Structure 1
Amino acid sequence: MNHLDLIQACDKDWYAYTHHTFVTQLAKGDLSQQAYLHYLKQDFLFLKHYARAYALAIFKAKTLEEMRRPLPSLEALIGSEMHHHISYCQQWGLTESDMEAEAEDVGTVAYTRYVLDTGMAGDLADLFTALAPCAIGYAMIGERLIHAPDTLETGNPYYSWIAMYGGEEFQQSVQQSILFLNQLLADIPIASSRGQQLIHIFRTATRMEVAFWQQGLNAAMTR
């Protein structure tokens, strides 16, 4: 099996994630700023746990080669992506200390702890399957929106987000992640109990992504 099998097996949840109202409003430029600011702060907290998950991959690895594989992603997350996220958020008036002091929303807690718990209880295939919806989904969303004729570019305060995730650098990095995931999945029959277990993990993580978008919209409605 491979990542496309995972997506196809939970296509309804995947569509709900990649075509969520948060995403469509972001593309049109009419997303509530309160929703976006809430998302940015929660995404900062999410990325910290995302980095912990890659550190967990090194801990769970059985060979030196397996230990080497997550290291570039971990270094990129802590040394580059977190830095870019903080710099980007400063443009929206959010400082690193602001985001560190932010309380984790329920969806953030549920998603991040699910990924870490799945990784602790399982092996590398379990962990990277739980991590996969985030990177793969953002790449697919970015690529679709950057080429969509109804995506507003001029005057859209959120277009830089679309440009980043639809850009070549992010797209290439995700392809490397997909390659590694597919290597982990290659010898697992999709119809086997193990294959179905991994589909369940992928579907659950995808549903967590839906909830992550939704909590941003919910936060804007309560203010």
Structure 2
Amino acid sequence: MFSDELKLAAAPIMAEIHKHPFVQGITNGHVDKAALIFYVQQDYQYLSEFIKIYANAITKLTDRNEMTFFANSIDFILNSEIHPHHVFCDVAGVQYEDLQHATPAPKAYLYESHMYRAADTGSLMNILAAFLPCPWTYGEIARQQVAQNANTDDNPFKSWIDFYAGTENDADESLSKRVFSWIDRLASEATSEQRTQAKQFFLKSCELEWQFWEQAFYQQDWHFKSIISQPEAQQS
């Protein structure tokens, strides 16, 4: 199956995500406040763009069941995925509303651009392949953390772990399994070139998931942010 090929190719990246110090910090219950704040600031902006990508995908569909899938995904981001953000904010001791106006950092900007590029190809398989690593890697992270008994009551990130473990359980209808199956159906009718392109979008998104943890852990922002963020009138 094409999905097995994707998972196998991404296995080395997934292994590095599991070992990332930010992810390990969630497992161990200790992440620097600055890293948590930077993560929430960037993820809020990224997920806002994610919603637009889902909306774009709906325009390429004719099947109402498929439309419903993306509509439900939009609802999940808007109304459910704020919970893990609140967990990080509570641990960091900050208000969520104060973190919603950041400028996307370079790697977040790259990830957003990558997603839009997938959408611009007009290929539903490319869109699915590009966005799937987000829920898939988070589900795998939480699954491993649960297996390591990291979601204990004394871990301040217990609710974060339980949230993502709950979205990616072993049920046949879990999000990642549904999308991997969807990609398999599309791949069965695709050319070798189309499958190769979709695989590239998938693997690059996996890399960008690792980069997202990296930028938050080290707060990697624009080096010339003071110049870039100036209003147009001041730059002219």
Q: TM-score, normalised by structure 2?
A: 0.80
Residue 158 of structure 1: aligned partner: 157
Q: Which residue of 2 aligns with 1:94?
A: 95
- Counterpart of 2:60, as a letter, is K
Residue 94 of structure 1 aligns to which amino acid in structure 2? Q
For residue 70 of structure 2, what is the amino acid of its counterpart? P
Which runs of no fewer than 5 residues in structure 2 stay unpaired?
221-236
What SS does the aligned partner of 1:164 have?
helix
RMSD, aligned α-carbons? 2.6
- 1:26-37 matches, within 5 Å, as 26-37=26-37
- CA shift for structure 1 position 195: 2.0
Q: Distance in 1 between matches of 2:14 and 2:89?
A: 31
Q: CA shift at 1:63, angstroms? A: 4.1
Q: CA deviation at 1:64?
A: 4.0
Report the number of matched residues: 216
- How far is the alpha carbon of 1:30 from its aligned partner? 2.5
Match of 1:22 in 2: 22
Deviations 1:132-179 (A, max 9, x none): 100011111101101204x37343322221121123x55369713431
Question: Hey, what's the Cα distance between the residues in 2 that align with 1:216 and 1:8?
Answer: 27
User: Is 1:183 the counterpart of 2:176 in the alignment?
Assistant: no
> Highest Rg: 1 or 2?
2
Match of 2:8 in 1: 8
Q: CA deviation at 1:90?
A: 5.3
Q: Name the SS of the counterpart of 2:95 in structure 1.
A: coil
Query: AA paired with 1:219?
Result: Q
Q: Cα–Cα, structure 1 residues 214 and 158, in superposed 2: closer, same or farther, change >3 Å?
A: same
**Is the alpha carbon distance of 1:121 and 1:163 closer, same or farther for their aligned partners in structure 2, counting shifts above 3 Å?**
same
Q: Contact conserved, 2:130 with 2:205, CA < 8 A, in 1? A: yes
User: In structure 1, what is the Cα distance between the partners aligned to 2:195 and 2:178?
Assistant: 18
Cα distance in structure 2, aligned partners of 1:187 and 1:139: 23
Question: SS where residue 102 of structure 1 aligns?
Answer: coil
Shift of 1:114: 0.7
Q: In terms of mean alpha carbon deviation, does 25-34 or 86-95 score higher? A: 86-95
The more displaced of 5-14 and 138-147 is 5-14
Classify 1:24/1:67 alpha carbon distance in 2 versus 1 (closer, same or farther; 3 Å): same
Q: TM-score, normalised by structure 1?
A: 0.84
Contact 1:139/1:174 (<8 A) preserved = no
Work out the CA distance in 2 between the residues paired with 1:63 and 1:191. Answer: 22
1:75 maps to 75
**Which gives a bigger RCO, structure 1 or 2 (Cα 8 Å, sep 6+)?**
1
User: How far, CA to CA, are the matches of 1:103 and 1:37 in structure 2?
Assistant: 13
CA gap 1:193/1:199 in 2 versus in 1, 3 angstroms: same
Pairs within 5 Å for 1:132-171: 132-149=132-149, 151=150, 153-167=152-166, 169=167, 171=169
Look up the match of 1:55. Answer: 55
Q: Which one is further off, 153-162 or 120-129?
A: 153-162
Query: Compared with structure 1, are the counterparts of its residues 58 and 201 closer, same or farther at alpha carbon in structure 2 (3 Å cutoff)?
Result: same
Partners of 1:10 and 1:203 within 8 A in 2: yes
* Alpha-carbon distance change, 69 to 156 in structure 1, aligned in 2, over 3 angstroms: closer
Structure 1: tracts of 5 or more residues without a match: none
Aligned to 1:124: 124
